[in-house]
Amino acid sequence: MNEQATPTAQPARRWTAEEMERIEALIAGIESKQVASVPLGPQEAACDAALQAMARAEADARDAFSAFYLGLGEAQGGDGHVYLPADVAARVNAWVESTRAWEAAVDAAFLALPAPPARPPAVPRRTGARLRATLPAAFRVPTAEPARDLLAALFAPRRWQANDAGTAIWAQLSDTRVQIELDDVAGFGPERAVQQIARHGASVAQTFLAMTGLWLEHNQDRPHETYLTAHASDLLRYQGRKETPRGGYHAEDALAKGRDVYLLSRISVPASEVATFEGGRRVVKTLSIGRLLSLESLHAEQTAEGGQVHSVVRFRYHPGKDVHDWICGDRTQYAALSGKLLTYHPVRQKFQILLGLCLAYHDRANRRNGLPARRIGLPALLKLAAIDIPTKRVAEFLVSIEDALNDLARDGVIAGARLEKPDGWADLLASRKTREVIARSVVSYPSLLAPKGEGGGTAAAAD
């Protein structure tokens, strides 16, 4: 082992937004085939194997380094350095190699996906191969501060905080500070989880509400770590979906619910607030990453009898701590689900579902202000609900949003919800300035918070 073993810096692999969408579509296709027991194609199988290998290598590397660091004592010798053990270095290298293998597998699989719309040519990316970089046989790790604290900080997620500007996260041990610049940290909070649910679509949002409601029915006063074993048919029944004349539900409906459950299990609940000043004292909240729900197992099987295909999807789960806090407030209406919200059609009435979910969350997030009414700008609500303003027929889009809010008010999901347009909105519409109307419009509704001592409230929607 010598000084030449110091690793050469590698450029970080940065996926573009379009690439990330294609990767998610690729993974979703693999997962749906696995659930349906459909054989994977060669490129899909390679991607799946590379992804699983990378996850195992990452876990091995983290475990090996953590064990090494915990056993690290005072520096021996005179230079204040110690070599990372060969087995630990090998696992770190294996992690790096598995990451490269995953990237290569994804790049190859892109050839099988539909080509994205034509875009200006991207600037060529400098890769490790072009730099002629090779992995070292060993890492020389300084045992003295600050380098040892830097390595420890990378493996201590609870120490990470957001900076004052909300543009980066950082961690500090003793006098050593590690900062990572990010594209978008501002607003990094539980609303991101709601936005992720909405981005997956109205059907996934309904599945989330059904799962939380079903769990509460069985575990009203139990801690959130209590697991519940359920079937896709339980969720469909909870939503009031009618069974087939022969009993049970269609195979594709059960499999669709299983897919929704898996997608929800992958959503994180990040929470980070920038520094604030209270009473002249600087207060900083640390970054934490929770889970929307914990999925212990997901099993799907299909059988064919009498020309009919039957699907059984069974899973075992419990809500995450943050979700449990949202739906188990100190007043009972937060634990009640709207039957109407669950029975809206996920395609024809998707705006009602997504807006209802997000307005209920908005009310829950602002419960402490004690005001009798809530207000949220229409652009902010659309962003939270992951609803994009179309490039054409914007006026019809605005009418659809207003109709959806009226339906929520009429059906008692979000009682009193209404769209407040700016002064002179009719003239703006006449001059085809609909986007300006949207930008200046506000959605208002009475607080769903019932007075203390009352069992219900005007709302039946849960966060």
Phi-psi region of 393 (alpha: psi -120 to 50; beta: other; left: phi over 0): left
d(CA 181, CA 331): 40
Q: Which DSSP string corresponds to 210-250?
A: HHHHHHHHH-TTS-TT--EEEEHHHHHHHTTPPPPTTSS--
d(CA 454, CA 463): 19
How far is C-alpha 116 from the geometric centre of its chain's CA atoms? 24
User: According to the model, what pLDDT value does residue 404 have?
Assistant: 94
Of 231, 239, 230, 229, nearest to 207 (Cα)? 239
184-215 burial, b for 16+ CB within 10 Å, e for fewer? ebeebbbbbbbbbbbebbbbbbbbbbbbbbbb
User: According to the model, what pLDDT value does residue 335 have?
Assistant: 46
The residue written with tokens 């004690």 in the block is 370
Report H helices in 110-201.
147-154, 190-200
Q: What are the backbone angles phi and psi of residue 82, rounded to the nearest 5°?
A: -145, 145
Q: What are the backbone angles phi and psi of residue 182, rounded to the nearest 5°?
A: -125, 160
- Using an 8 Å Cβ cutoff, are 155 and 173 in contact? no
Amino acid (one-letter) located at 26: L
Q: What are the backbone angles phi and psi of residue 308, rounded to the nearest 5°?
A: -110, 140
User: According to the model, what pLDDT value does residue 192 have?
Assistant: 76
Joined together, the tokens standing for residue 302 give: 């299909």
The residue written with tokens 């009719």 in the block is 426
The answer to whether the Cα torsion of 313, 317, 320, 324 is positive or negative is: positive
Consecutive 10-residue averages of pLDDT for the chain (463 residues): 38 62 77 78 84 85 77 52 77 84 80 57 47 54 57 64 65 70 49 84 92 86 88 90 83 89 85 57 63 87 74 89 72 56 89 92 78 89 91 91 93 89 88 90 83 38 36
User: According to the model, what pLDDT value does residue 399 have?
Assistant: 93
The residue written with tokens 């109709």 in the block is 403
Q: How many CB atoms lie within 10 A of CB 346?
A: 17
Residue 459 parent element (H or E)? none
User: According to the model, what pLDDT value does residue 148 have?
Assistant: 59
Residue 161 CA: distances (Å) to CA of 62, 266, 270 = 21, 23, 12
- Using an 8 Å Cβ cutoff, are 161 and 169 in contact? yes
d(CA 63, CA 52): 17
Residue 82 parent element (H or E)? strand 81-83
**Quick check: bond before 39 cis, omega within 30?**
no
The residue written with tokens 């208002």 in the block is 444
Stated pTM of the model:
0.56
Contacts by 81-85, CB closer than 8 A, 24 or more apart: 81/140, 81/141, 81/142, 81/143, 81/144, 82/141, 82/143, 83/1, 83/138, 83/139, 83/140, 83/141, 84/138, 84/139, 84/140, 84/141
Joined together, the tokens standing for residue 75 give: 């520096």
